[in-house]
């Protein structure tokens, strides 16, 4: 398989993780060992085996569509890294290009 | 010095009921032990002394009015730092959430408060529960009270160390691949992973949603059962919560009888990689069950050897999705917001500096396993293995009431011993992972010590919603250990400054 530092950098970008080149180079061989080891799942996962996606058979749980009080705005915003005019403040989301 | 802090919660509840002690006195004794011992074991990340003493005074006042909230009203408890708690920080052992105080209580925490328990504080853990040693905590590792140079297990090593060193009689944990049971085994304490859906996950910071399960961490089997009965049961706030009542757990814990029980020994859990002392203590425990009238048979679960591999795909895949919520907007850390960086850059900078190394490893593995072109090969195959593991359990439970194995292949390892070798660290959960994949009930109970004097645990696994069988076996094993040698934890060399008197 041989995962390269460039592969790690590409995956890190997908995961929104800003890693240094040194981190990518260090992680590549470690992750390669892990991925080579976990690839063993392919040995027994034949085409006729169904997928198990959850520990329980899942069912949709519905409740009555009634208005209920939610958390007060100031309580929710109290843990935010930045707040402006009673809202979460975010950095710009669109770039110029 | 205190004889109170070594007593079980059920004994303390009797003393409170008889009026021999007050909750304030009991809480103060535990706060003094925390002050004396926590600097050495680093079990607590946050101690709420004022809140605990106020809750204890409320409990005493309730009791004086004859309005006792539950069997454990007035008993102190510690909470793993991934349970949301109003008025107390919830960091998950990560810089990402340092100082964050949640706006609501987890259902389990809410139920503890309603039952009158006294919350002492929050316990240390591997970062976002990713680890088997607490060494990935951003706030330093916890230490094993049996040997301060060894790990207390993980991810819930803060809770196990706190209970083992008598900083608290009770604690909450959460178990995704063994994070309650493995710390229990290596610290000589009791840890129970309830049936998936048996205890609400609402307000427990999600790691891998299809595997996570909160549960009790205690010194005695009855205490776990009593705590489980308080936190367990249906919760409409968790859509995976099972809408049926729990079996009678405390009754099962006190039965002390295994006659006629069919016990399966999983033959794949042994041999290479298992320490001889672990195998020897395990064989003795199986013999106790046989001598007690249980019928012991060997069962084969051939797909368990693939469980670790499947787990290290399913768990990272789920956590890489769950941890996407740490985007530097709604809570926690934000870095790089200098007016020039856009949202995506701020998110990536914050995550790159806020998450530790193990979190990064798993986020990348999860991203890889879910990425187009690899999804079927990795994540899909892992979900098929999950089906095969669950099928092995189904066949085994067709012949047996419970399955048993060592909880961990080895006793507590030394700090630093496995941090450079992720696969060696992951193998600490070799025996505990299959139960998370299948969602059944599973627990670890202390059965004795290795030649070097370190605890060994017995894992007992029961079918979903038959958690009472784990307690039945655990209660029997505990009675045997106590009648032979007295409480196991009394054998640990006392930590300098400890006020615990056994």
In a domain, A87, yes or no: no
Could you tell me which residues are beta bridge partners of residue B405?
B459
In a domain, A57, yes or no: no
Please tell me which residue in B155, B224, B405, B444 is annotated as part of the active site.
Answer: B155
Report residue B345 as tokens.
């850059």
B342 Cβ under 8 Å from any chain A Cβ: yes
Please tell me which residue in B10, B133, B179, B442 is annotated as part of the active site.
Answer: B179
B103 Cβ under 8 Å from any chain A Cβ: yes
pTM of this structure: 0.97
- Distance, in Å, from the CA atom of B303 to the CA atom of B312, rounded to the nearest integer, reads 15
Task: Say what percent of chain B tops pLDDT 90.
Answer: 98
Nearest to A15 among B334, B364, B386 (CB): B364
- B466-497 residue pLDDT tens: 999 999 999 999 999 999 999 999 999 999 99
What ipTM was predicted for this assembly?
A: 0.95
Distance of CA B403 to the CA centre of its chain: 19
- B239-297 residue pLDDT tens: 999 999 999 999 999 999 999 999 999 999 998 999 999 999 999 999 999 999 999 99
Measured between beta carbons, the chain A residues lying within 8 angstroms of B324 are 16
* Residue pair B408/B458 in contact by the 8 Å Cβ criterion: no
Measured between beta carbons, the chain B residues lying within 8 angstroms of A82 are 334, 337
- Distance, in Å, from the CA atom of B123 to the CA atom of B160, rounded to the nearest integer, reads 9
- Distance, in Å, from the CA atom of B12 to the CA atom of B470, rounded to the nearest integer, reads 24
Q: Is B155 a catalytic residue?
A: yes
Helix axes A21-38, B307-322, angle to 10 degrees: 140
B374 Cβ under 8 Å from any chain A Cβ: no
By C-alpha distance, which of B322, B355, B323, B349 is closest to A91? B349
Cβ within 8 Å of B, A 49-68: 49-56, 58, 60-61, 63
* Residue pair B190/B474 in contact by the 8 Å Cβ criterion: yes
The whole-angstrom distance between A66's CA and the closest CA on chain B is: 15
- Distance, in Å, from the CA atom of B162 to the CA atom of B144, rounded to the nearest integer, reads 9
- B116-140 residue pLDDT tens: 999 999 999 999 999 999 999 999 9
Residue of B381, B433, B438, B441 for testing the chain A interface, max A β-carbons within 10 Å: B381
Q: Can you give the pLDDT at residue A96?
A: 65
In the sheet that holds B44-47, the strands lie side by side as B44-47, B118-123, B76-80, B170-175, B213-218, B190-193, B441-449, B455-462, B402-406, B262-266, B295-299
Per the structure, the count of domains in chain A is 1
In a domain, A16, yes or no: yes
Q: Is B444 a catalytic residue?
A: no
| Domains parsed from chain B with CATH numbers | 9-303+387-489 (3.90.1300.10)
By C-alpha distance, which of A24, A20, A21, A26 is closest to A8? A24
- Distance, in Å, from the CA atom of B439 to the CA atom of A55, rounded to the nearest integer, reads 5
Report residue B178 as tokens.
């063994």
- Distance, in Å, from the CA atom of B136 to the CA atom of B127, rounded to the nearest integer, reads 5
Report residue A41 as tokens.
């799942």
Residue of B99, B211, B375, B384 for testing the chain A interface, max A β-carbons within 10 Å: B384
In a domain, A29, yes or no: yes
Q: Can you give the pLDDT at residue B250?
A: 98
- Residues in Cβ contact with A67 at an 8 Å cutoff, skipping those fewer than 6 apart: none
First to last CA, chain B: 10
Measured between beta carbons, the chain B residues lying within 8 angstroms of A50 are 384, 387
3-state secondary structure (DSSP) of residue B450: coil
- Distance, in Å, from the CA atom of B269 to the CA atom of B322, rounded to the nearest integer, reads 31
- Asked whether the beta carbons of residue B306 and residue A56 sit closer than 8 angstroms, the reply is no
- Asked whether the beta carbons of residue B423 and residue A33 sit closer than 8 angstroms, the reply is yes
- Whether residue A1 is predicted with pLDDT greater than 90 in this model: the reply is no
- Asked whether the beta carbons of residue A91 and residue B386 sit closer than 8 angstroms, the reply is no
In a domain, A15, yes or no: yes
Which residues form the domain of A34?
Answer: 5-43
- Whether residue A95 is predicted with pLDDT greater than 90 in this model: the reply is no
- Distance, in Å, from the CA atom of B159 to the CA atom of B168, rounded to the nearest integer, reads 9
- Asked whether the beta carbons of residue B309 and residue A38 sit closer than 8 angstroms, the reply is yes
Residue of A39, A40, A41 for testing the chain B interface, max B β-carbons within 10 Å: A41
- Distance, in Å, from the CA atom of B331 to the CA atom of B459, rounded to the nearest integer, reads 38
In a domain, A78, yes or no: no
| Integer CA distances (angstroms), B209 to B132, B175, B196, B305, in order | 18, 11, 10, 23
Q: Is B245 a catalytic residue?
A: no
By C-alpha distance, which of A3, A36, A33, A9 is closest to B422? A33
């Amino acid at each position: 398989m041989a995962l390269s530092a460039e592969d790690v950098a590409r995956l890190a970008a997908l995961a929104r993780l800003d890693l240094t080149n040194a981190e990518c180079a260090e992680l590549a061989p470690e992750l390669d060992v892990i991925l080579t080891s976990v690839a063993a799942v392919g040995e027994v996962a034949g085409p006729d085996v169904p997928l198990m996606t959850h520990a329980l058979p899942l069912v949709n749980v519905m409740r009555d569509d009634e208005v209920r009080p939610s958390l007060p705005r100031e309580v929710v915003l109290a843990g935010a890294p930045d707040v402006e005019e009673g809202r979460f403040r975010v950095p710009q989301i669109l770039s110029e290009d | 010095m205190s004889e109170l802090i070594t007593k079980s919660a059920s004994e303390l509840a009797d003393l409170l009921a008889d009026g021999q002690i007050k909750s304030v006195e009991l809480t103060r004794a535990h706060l003094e032990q925390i002050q004396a011992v926590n600097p050495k074991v680093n079990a607590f990340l946050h101690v709420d002394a004022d809140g605990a003493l106020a809750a204890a005074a409320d409990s005493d006042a309730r009791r004086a009015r004859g309005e006792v909230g539950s069997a454990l009203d007035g008993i102190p408890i510690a909470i793993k730092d991934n349970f949301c708690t109003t008025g107390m920080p919830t960091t998950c052992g990560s810089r990402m959430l340092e100082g964050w105080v949640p706006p609501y209580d987890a259902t389990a925490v809410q139920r503890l408060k309603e039952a009158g328990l006294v919350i002492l504080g929050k316990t240390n853990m591997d970062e976002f529960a990713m680890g088997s040693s607490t060494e990935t905590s951003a706030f330093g590792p916890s230490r094993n009270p049996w040997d301060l140079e060894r790990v207390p297990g993980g991810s819930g090593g803060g809770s196990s160390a706190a209970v083992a060193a008598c900083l608290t009689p009770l604690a909450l944990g959460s178990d995704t691949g063994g994070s309650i049971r493995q710390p229990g085994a290596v610290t000589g304490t009791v840890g129970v992973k309830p049936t998936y859906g048996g205890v609400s996950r609402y307000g427990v910071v999600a790691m891998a949603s299809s595997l996570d399960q909160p549960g009790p961490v205690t010194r005695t089997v009855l205490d776990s059962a009593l705590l489980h009965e308080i936190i367990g049961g249906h919760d409409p706030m968790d859509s995976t919560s099972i809408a049926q009542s729990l079996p009678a757990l405390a009754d099962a814990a006190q039965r002390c009888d295994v006659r006629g029980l069919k016990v399966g020994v999983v033959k794949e859990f042994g041999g290479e990689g298992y320490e001889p002392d672990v195998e020897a203590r395990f064989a003795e425990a199986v013999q106790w069950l046989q001598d007690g009238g249980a019928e012991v048979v060997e069962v084969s679960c051939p797909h368990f050897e693939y469980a670790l591999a499947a787990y290290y795909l399913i768990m990272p895949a789920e956590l890489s999705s769950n941890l996407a919520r740490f985007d530097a907007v709604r809570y926690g850390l934000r870095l790089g917001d200098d007016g020039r960086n856009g949202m995506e850059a701020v998110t990536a900078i914050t995550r790159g500096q806020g998450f530790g190394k193990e979190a990064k490893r798993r986020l990348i593995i999860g991203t890889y396993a879910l990425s187009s072109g690899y999804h079927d090969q990795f994540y899909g195959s892992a979900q098929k293995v999950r089906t095969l593991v669950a099928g092995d359990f189904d066949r085994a439970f067709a012949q047996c009431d419970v399955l048993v194995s060592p909880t961990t292949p080895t006793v507590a390892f030394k700090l630093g011993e496995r941090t450079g070798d992720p696969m060696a660290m992951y193998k600490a959960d070799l025996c505990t992972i299959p139960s998370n994949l299948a969602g059944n009930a599973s627990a670890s109970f202390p059965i004795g010590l290795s030649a070097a004097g370190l605890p060994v645990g017995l894992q007992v696994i029961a079918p979903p919603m038959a958690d009472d069988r784990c307690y039945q076996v655990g209660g029997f094993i505990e009675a045997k250990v106590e009648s032979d040698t007295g409480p196991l934890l009394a054998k640990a060399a006392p930590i300098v400054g400890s006020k615990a008197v056994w």
